[in-house]
Chains A and B, each alone.
Chain A
Amino acid sequence: MSIASDSIKRAGPERTTVWDRFSIRTKRVIWAWTFLALPILFYGGIRFYPTFQAFWLSLTDWDLMRPAKFVGLANYQAMLADPVFWKVFQNTFAYLIIGTPLSLVISFAIAYYLDRVRFMHGFIRALYFLPFLTTAAAMGWVWRWFYQPVPIGVLNGFLSVFGLPQQTFLRSPDTALTSILMPAIWAGLGFQVIIFIAGLRAIPSTFYEAARIDGLGEWAIFRKITLPLLKPTTIFLVVFSSIGFLRIFDQVYNMTTNDPGGPLNSTKPLVLMIYQTAFSSYKMGYAAAQTVVLFTILLVVSLMQLWVLRKR
C-alpha cells in the first residue's frame, strides 16, 4: 500500500507534460497521424513527387547528359504531328476496347459454370489460375513460338494437319495485334475467374431459393439477381483490367523483340513507345510528354467507368 501511494504522489503535479493535457481522443488522432505519416511520406517521395516532376520534364528537352532546358509545348506539338504516335494511340485503345470486354465475358462464363462444378473444382480452378502466376516474359516467348510458321509453330502445325491455310499471326500488321492480345487475355483470365467466383459466392443463396419458389426462370434469376448483385465485382474488374490493357507492355515487347511493336508499328502500345523514346533514344522530355498523355488517358477512362457504373 505504502509503495503504491508513494508512486502516485511522485507522479503528481510535477510530471504533467504537454502530452498529458491532451484528451484521449486527441491523443488517438495524433497517434493515427503519426502512423499514417510514414506511408504518406513514402508515397509522396516515390510516387507523387516523380509524377509532378514528369509534368515539368514534359516541358523540357532533357536527354540525361545535358541539363534540362525549358521548351514550352514543343514536345506536345512534335507528338501531335507524329503519325507513329497516332498509330500507337489507336493500338492502345484497340487493346483496351477488344481486351477488356472479351476477357470479362470469357472469365464470367467460366466462373459462372465453374461455380456449379463440384467434380475436381479446386483442380480446375488452379489450372485457370496457373497462367496468372507465370512470368509474362516466359509466356510471351512460348506463344511467340506457337505462332511461328510450320516446322516450329504448333498452331500452324495444327492447321496444316487439317489442311487449313497457314496464318501469318505475328508477321502481318493485320493479325499481329490480335495475336498478342490473345495470350494477354488468357494470362489474366485466372485472376478474373477467381474474383468472379468470389463475387458469385457472396450472393446469398436464399435470394435464389426465394426466386425459385416464386417461379422465376433461370434467365430472369440471372438478369434480376446475379448480374445486379455482381455489380461491385464487375466494376472492380472492369477498372482493373482496363488499366491493365492500357498499360500492356510485357507481352508486346517479348513477342516482337526483333522489331519492338512491329511489324510496321502495328502492335506498339503507348507504354512501349514511352520506353523506346526514353531508354533507346534518350529523349526524356519527349517521353515525359507521352507519359502525361498516358496518365490522362488512364485517369479519364477510370473516372468514366466509375461514373458509368456508379450506384444509383
Chain B
Amino acid sequence: MRSNYASYFANGIGASATGEKLEAAEKFLKYVSSPEAMQIWLKVVGELPARKAVALTDDNVADPIYGPFLKGLAYAHTTQFVDEAGQRQTAVDMVNRVLINGDDPKASLDEAAKQEQAIIDAAAQ
C-alpha cells in the first residue's frame, strides 16, 4: 500500500466577533487564503498551500525541497486521533522496544498496531 502522512490546520473567525472586528477578520481571512498569500506562505514558512491551483504549479512541483511533498499529497492520509497522547505513546514504545530492548522491528510494529487498534476500538464504543 502506498501511503503518506499529512496533517492540516484551518483558520477561522471566533463566533463572538462583531462589527469592525468581524470585518477586519473577514478581510484578513480572505487575504491569507488567497492564492498569492499561500504562495508567500509556502516560500517563507514552508507549509504547503491548500489550494491545488497554487500548490501544483510547475515551479512548485519541480522544487527540490517541497516538490516531493506536494507529489506525496496525492496519496496522503491524516491519522485519526482519538487519544493523541496514547497513540503517540504506542509509536514511542514501538521504537524503544527495537532500540533499547533489541526486539525484532516487525514484531514491535505488529505489537504497536495491536495497541493502537485497541485504543481506537475503545473510543469507538
Contact = CB atoms under 8 A, between A and B. Distances in A.
Given A259-B92, A262-B92, A264-B93, A172 B86 contact: no
A160 interface: no
A86 B84 CA distance: 23
A171 B101 CA distance: 12
Interface in B61-101: 83-86, 89, 92-93, 96-97, 100-101
B100 A281 contact: no
Contacts, number: 28
Contact of A264 (B84, B85, B86, B100): B100
A280 B86 contact: yes
A281 B96 contact: no
Interface in B35-63: none
A263 B86 contact: no
A188 B93 CA distance: 32
Nearest to A78: B122
Contact of B83 (A262, A264, A281): A281
Contacts of A265: 93
Contact of B96 (A262, A276, A280): A262
Would you call the interface of chain B mostly helix, strand, loop, or mixed? helix
Contacts of A171: 100
From A276, A280, A281, A282, residue with most partner B Cβ within 10 Å: A281
A264 B83 CA distance: 18
Given A259-B92, A262-B92, A264-B93, A280 B83 contact: yes
Nearest to B99: A263
B100 A172 contact: yes
Contact count band on A: 10 to 19
A183 interface: no
A264 B90 CA distance: 10
A199 interface: no
B96 A259 contact: yes
Interface in A250-303: 258-259, 262-265, 276, 280-282
A171 B92 CA distance: 13
Contacts of A282: 83
B85 A281 contact: yes
A173 interface: yes
A258 B93 CA distance: 12
Given A259-B92, A262-B92, A264-B93, A173 B83 contact: no
Nearest to B101: A264
B85 A263 contact: no
A263 B96 contact: yes
Given A259-B92, A262-B92, A264-B93, A173 B100 contact: yes
Interface of A: 171-173, 258-259, 262-265, 276, 280-282
Interface of B: 83-86, 89, 92-93, 96-97, 100-101
Given A258-B92, A259-B89, A264-B101, 19 more contacts: A172-B100, A173-B101, A259-B92, A259-B96, A262-B92, A262-B93, A262-B96, A263-B96, A263-B100, A264-B97, A264-B100, A265-B93, A276-B85, A280-B84, A280-B85, A280-B86, A281-B85, A281-B86, A282-B83
28 contacts: A171-B100, A172-B100, A173-B100, A173-B101, A258-B92, A259-B89, A259-B92, A259-B96, A262-B92, A262-B93, A262-B96, A263-B96, A263-B100, A264-B93, A264-B96, A264-B97, A264-B100, A264-B101, A265-B93, A276-B85, A280-B83, A280-B84, A280-B85, A280-B86, A281-B83, A281-B85, A281-B86, A282-B83
